Amino acid sequence: MPLYVMLSTSFKTADEIRAGNLLSLPAQLDLHAWSKAWSSACTGSTCDGMRGYFWNSVSFVVPSVLISTLMGAFNGYVLTMWRFRGSDTLFGLLMIGCFIPFQVVLLPMARTLGALGIASTTGGLIFVHVVYGLAFTTLFFRNYYVTIPDELVKAAKIDGAGFFLIFRRITLPLSVPIFVVSVIWQFTQVWNDFLFGVVFSSGERQPITVALNNLVNTSTGVKEYDVDMAAAIIAALPTLFVYVVAGKYFVRGLTAGAVKG
């Protein structure tokens, strides 16, 4: 119902919206709100268009998701197949990392970005999301890899396969379900993030969630609910598309790593 209201409102004229019938269908499809939402998102007193902020989000979401997923896969493999001293403690600390609120890491992360010289840059935002997402992806892959039969790994070792060869030729090909889970989870978290985006980016480098907030909270006269609804749908389309296309694989991946055997 909320999605229906958003869609119908985005296609209505201002007069139809002021009529007050929230659930009525638009008399005709008016694309003016969509065009204005795409081209008039505001940051402070500057309006440059949501289009630029949309591609800003794409530019850091894609590398953030890929890097954190690949690193999580390798971490999960190490913690599962290589039982070194302190591995259980390390895994416990990573699990604790899943429960650390965003707000707690703002100050230390800001200092780290400043020391690295990547504050308020796309690279800095990628770094933030990779670090924060690493605990989740490692947890996903570690819990999945414990379901891989030990005999499979032992047979590879007997055939002369080394640590990295087993990971590349055996473990990774078996990881497609959990890769899908990790990608969907990370994509949703990073794309929908507002706090990191507003704190660790500025100006034209800000993500679409910040642009949406600025658009909705910028008033230059009559409130344009049709534009706000169109902008909200534009911001939500990528995650909606991902879940529609790969949602069933998300459930399969979660259940595949639920039990061993």
- 223 phi/psi in degrees, rounded to 5: -65, 125
The separation between CA 22 and the C-alpha centre of its own chain, rounded to angstroms, equals: 31
Q: What is the length of the chain?
A: 261
User: Could you read off the pLDDT of 139-167 as tens digits, one per residue?
Assistant: 889 888 888 888 888 888 888 888 888 88
The radius of gyration of the chain from alpha carbons, rounded to an integer in Å, stands at 22
Q: CA of 118: how far to CAs of 29, 106, 121, 189, 229, in Å? A: 45, 15, 6, 22, 34
Helix, strand, coil fractions of the chain, as percent rounded to 5: 75, 0, 25
Mean pLDDT of 225-232: 88
| Rounded Cα–Cα distance for residues 75 and 169 (Å) | 16
Q: In the Cβ-directed half-sphere of 214, how many Cα atoms lie within 13 Å?
A: 23
The separation between CA 161 and the C-alpha centre of its own chain, rounded to angstroms, equals: 35
End-to-end CA distance of the chain: 42
For a pLDDT cut of 90, what percent of the chain falls above it? 24
Closest CA to 133 of 209, 80, 67: 67
pLDDT > 80? residue 170? yes
Q: Is the pTM of this model over 0.85?
A: no
| Rounded Cα–Cα distance for residues 213 and 41 (Å) | 9
pLDDT at 110: 92
Contacts (Cβ under 8 Å, ≥6 apart) of 34: 10, 230, 234
pLDDT > 90? residue 174? no
Question: Do 246 and 184 contact (CB within 8 A), yes or no?
Answer: yes
Domains in the chain with CATH codes: 1-34 (no CATH), 48-256 (1.10.3720.10)
What six digits make up the tokens of 234?
């534009």
Instruction: Categorize the per-residue pLDDT at 72 as very low, low, confident or very high, splitting at 50, 70 and 90.
Output: very high
